Amino acid sequence: MKKIVFILAILVFFITGCSSNGSEDVEQIYYEMYSRGSSTTINISPEKIEVISTGLKSDKTSMKLKKEEWDGLVETIKVLDIEKLKDLEVPSDLRASDASPHAVLKLSKNDTVFETKNFDHGNPPQSIRPLVQAILRLSENVE
């Protein structure tokens, strides 16, 4: 009987305890920033990055994403508990008075989208700051 309990305990450990936060399963990363009259959406998949802008400078550009770039984003996501993105506290509220564009980060995994509350573009919650900075750096190179 003790052996069965021990084996079951090991199985439960390997099924739950050794699993990651699921960051390897992230299929798509979205970063959106918008204000009155314009918006920019950055869509990143393992294969490409796409930047879509609306407003006075409407444009849609994309480029192939290198495997190392995607892997770097996934490494940055690994430190996050993506299921708690919606609970992150935003550090400022300048967007309420149009002093800063709104921004939101979304991660898609297994047909589920995990997203943050709206935050000020340029001032994301501390825990997602490295990921947002990496996304914005990558988007600067899209032509």
Confidence class for position 100, pLDDT limits 50, 70, 90: confident
- The domain in which residue 71 lies consists of 22-140
Q: Is residue 5 part of a domain?
A: no
pLDDT > 70 in the chain, percent: 83
Instruction: Write the CATH number for 85.
Output: 3.30.1560
Q: Residues 31-62: pLDDT tens digits?
A: 999 998 899 999 999 999 999 999 888 999 99
pLDDT at 125 over 90: yes
**Assigned domain for 10 exists:** no
What is the secondary structure of 97-119 as a DSSP string?
GTSS-EEEEEEEETTEEEEPPPE
Through-space distance between the first and last CA atoms of the chain, rounded to whole angstroms: 65
73 falls within a domain: yes
How many domains, in total, are found in the chain?
Answer: 1
Residue 119's nearest CA partner among 97, 86, 83, 91 is 91
